[in-house]
Amino acid sequence: MHNLVERMKNSDIRALAKAITMVENDHPEKLTLMREVFSMEKNAHFIGITGPPGAGKSSLVNRLITQIRSEGKTVAIIAVDPTSPFSGGALLGDRVRMNEHFTDDGVYIRSMATRGSLGGLARATKDALRICDAYGFDVVIVETVGVGQSELDIMKVVDTTALVLTPNSGDVLQIFKAGIMEIADLFVINKGDLPGYGKLKALLRELVMMTATENHEKAIIKTISTENKGIDKLWEKINEHHDFLYATDEGRKRRSSQQKHEVYELLREEIWRDVKGFIEANEDFSPIDEDSDPYQQAIDWFQKWKKEGVN
Ligand SMILES: Nc1nc2c(ncn2[C@@H]2O[C@H](COP(=O)(O)OP(=O)(O)O)[C@@H](O)[C@H]2O)c(=O)[nH]1
Ligand SMILES: [Mg+2]
């Protein structure tokens, strides 16, 4: 058994932190580690919280932690920042907003950035979710910094995605265009204390009606996280979505399509690692034919790798 896995089984939180760092940095042992982690699957509920910066995601997550803990469940938070190579300001703010939970053993808070990850942040996030699940957390929440393409990819690896919007934010159309609306399983209108709530609610209702099916309609929840209002309702709707996934074919379909996608991604990573290693082992990255263009060079290296590099 991998040493980290063994330590995780003994509830060593530092081993969990180390395992996440390994996937973040694409450590060569990653696949071996993850196979063992995968076999320890306990089926935690993976929740994504996305939305524009400043919408109140961290404030909501902080309230949700309290709600989840009051039910005796444990929770891990992964705060992802795809934009910053360093874990910058936004994440620092998140940690400050959640700091009341730092001394609670039933809560784990971790930030993640891309660094050089081959498979991208979404893949690393999925692995981190699984590591937290294997460790034994009942709920794992991923909070993103904004709503771009990387966030969209990240939301594809969770079970339930909540999109947080605010009455005063003008980004709704932007988010529409980005395709986040389709990905969202439920909508949160936070800062319900601000003017403009009714207008946004009406807009979202229209949207929800368009995508509603006979047995499912996306929920719209009003919250005021600064006043701790609507959090219980939000938690209830998140759980309803989870039940919906497990009670219908939707959950199974989603998981199997996620897994297929994942196999492709892992293969891409593995092949790339192999090709790159092969080229680098050939001393330097010099063209096989000095006069060739980049396209021909790529073809040449690929052919050479297929002939000599694959055994
Ligand atoms: N008026 C109002 N302000 C809020 C509410 N929720 C959060 N905020 C404030 O909005 C700001 C951004 O919150 P934060 O949780 O960091 O947003 P994030 O960037 O989406 O994580 C903070 O100053 C919060 O105090 C709310 O319900 N009403
Ligand atoms: Mg935040």
Dump pLDDT digits (tens) for 199-225. 999 989 988 998 888 878 999 999 999
User: Mutate which of 226, 227, 229, 231 to test ligand 1's pocket (most atoms within 8 Å of Cβ)?
Assistant: 226
SS3 assignment for 169-195: CCCHHHHHHHCHHHHCCEEEECCCCCC
User: How many Å separate Cα 252 from the centre of its chain?
Assistant: 19
d(CA 296, CA 311): 24
Give residue 147's pLDDT.
74
CA Rg value for the chain: 22
In 3D, which of 173, 178, 147 has the Cα closest to residue 80?
A: 147
Give residue 132's pLDDT.
98
Q: What is the pTM of this model?
A: 0.86
Give residue 89's pLDDT.
45
Q: Which residues line ligand 1 (CB under 6 A)?
A: 51, 53-59, 93-94, 97, 190-191, 193-194, 224-226
Burial class, 15, CB count within 10 angstroms (exposed 0-12 / middle 13-18 / buried 19+): buried
Tell me the domain boundaries of the chain: 3-247, 261-309
pLDDT level of residue 91 (50, 70, 90 thresholds): low
Give residue 114's pLDDT.
58
Which CATH architecture group holds 3-247?
3-Layer(aba) Sandwich (3.40)
- Average model confidence (pLDDT) across the chain: 86
Residue nearest to atom 17 of ligand 1 (CA): 56
Give residue 286's pLDDT.
73
The single-letter code of the amino acid at 231 is: I
Give residue 96's pLDDT.
64
Average pLDDT over residues 73-81: 92
Instruction: Check residues 230 and 90 and name the one with the higher pLDDT.
Output: 230
The single-letter code of the amino acid at 109 is: I
Which tokens hold the place of 265?
A: 């991604």
- Are the C-beta atoms of 82 and 151 separated by less than 8 Å? yes
Question: Would you report the helix, strand and coil content of the chain in percent, each value rounded to 5?
Answer: 55, 15, 30
pLDDT level of residue 68 (50, 70, 90 thresholds): very high
Ligand 2 center from residue 78 Cα (angstroms): 11
Instruction: Check residues 93 and 261 and name the one with the higher pLDDT.
Output: 261
Average pLDDT over residues 154-160: 87
Give residue 119's pLDDT.
58
Name residues whose C-beta falls within 8 Å of residue 22's C-beta, 6 or more positions apart in sequence. 4, 29, 30, 33
Q: Say yes or no to pLDDT of 87 above 90.
A: no
* pLDDT single digits (tens) 104-144: 889 999 988 755 555 577 888 999 999 999 999 999 999 98
Percent of the chain whose pLDDT exceeds 70: 90
d(CA 156, CA 136): 22
Give residue 6's pLDDT.
95
Give residue 97's pLDDT.
64
The ligand 1 atom nearest the CA atom of 145: 19
* pLDDT single digits (tens) 235-293: 999 999 999 998 988 888 888 888 888 888 888 888 988 898 898 888 666 777 778 88
CA-CA-CA-CA dihedral for 147, 148, 151, 153, to nearest 10: 140
pLDDT level of residue 86 (50, 70, 90 thresholds): very low
